[in-house]
Amino acid sequence: MMEANIIPLEFWKDPQSDVILVYGERECSVYFRRWSSAGVPADYIGELSFEGASAVRSFDREFIPYQTKRHEKSYILQVPDSDLARNRVEYRKRHYPQYLISGKTHFVVVGHDIYHEILATKFTAATINRWYNQKRPDRVGAKFTTGILYHDGKEGQARKLGEKKEKSRPAP
């Protein structure tokens, strides 16, 4: 098993829920359900947004090939010596020597029976109100707070950026 570092999340990810990966040329995000306390669903969805993502891979497995020295109730992993990063750098050297990449970190987001591996420069963690874009008259115009956590790929460098207030869109 490969050694990985734990990056704790500020909120509690539902350990039984799915983790949904959205990846494109200009976006890489993972979404999942949250708990407000053990077994109690929260009114928010967790979102991890990865900046500078250049590779992803996913596996539908219950057990991950990474080990850690400690455990947190909600976390993602950072793999320091990564085959994903090495392979991506070699690919760029071979096919695009004028556009080499560096400074990428291998992150792992673990769900229930699935995990996603993402090669990116950094990530932010936020919460999204579950009712944000639904046709619910009792929720239209409601304000909510999004807590954001930032990580730049260096071990121990997570810091809270603070609160971000947004207003929901009006119902169509």
Q: pLDDT tens, 54-73?
A: 999 999 998 999 998 888 88
Mean pLDDT across the chain: 80
List, in sequence order, the alpha helices (H) in 10-168.
83-95
Task: Answer yes or no: are the C-beta atoms of 149 and 125 closer than 8 Å.
Answer: yes
For residues 9-15, average pLDDT: 90
Residue 117 covered by a domain: yes
CA-wise closest residue to 84 among 65, 98, 68: 65
Domain contains 171: no
- Inside any domain, residue 118: yes
Instruction: Assess if residue 170 is contained within a domain.
Output: no
Measure CA 122 to chain center: 10
- Residue 25 belongs to domain spanning: 2-162
167 falls within a domain: no
Q: Is residue 84 part of a domain?
A: yes
Is this structure's pTM higher than 0.85? Answer: no
Count of structural domains, the chain: 1
* Pairing of β 2-3 and β 66-67: parallel
The confidence score (pLDDT) of residue 163 equals 47
Q: Cα(22)–Cα(30) distance, rounded to whole angstroms? A: 6
Which runs of consecutive H residues, i.e. helices, occur in 32-122? 83-95
Q: Which residue has the higher pLDDT, 141 or 8?
A: 8
Q: Fill in the DSSP letter of residue 150.
A: E
Residue 50 clears pLDDT 70, i.e. is over it? yes
- At residue 1, the pLDDT reads 86
DSSP 40-61: EEEEEEEEEEEET--EEEEE--
Q: Stretch 117-128: mean pLDDT, rounded? A: 93
Closest CA to 128 of 85, 71, 169: 169
What is the predicted pLDDT for the residue at 154? 56
Give the pLDDT band (50/70/90) at residue 101. confident
Cβ neighbours, 10 Å, residue 49: 18
Confidence class for position 165, pLDDT limits 50, 70, 90: very low
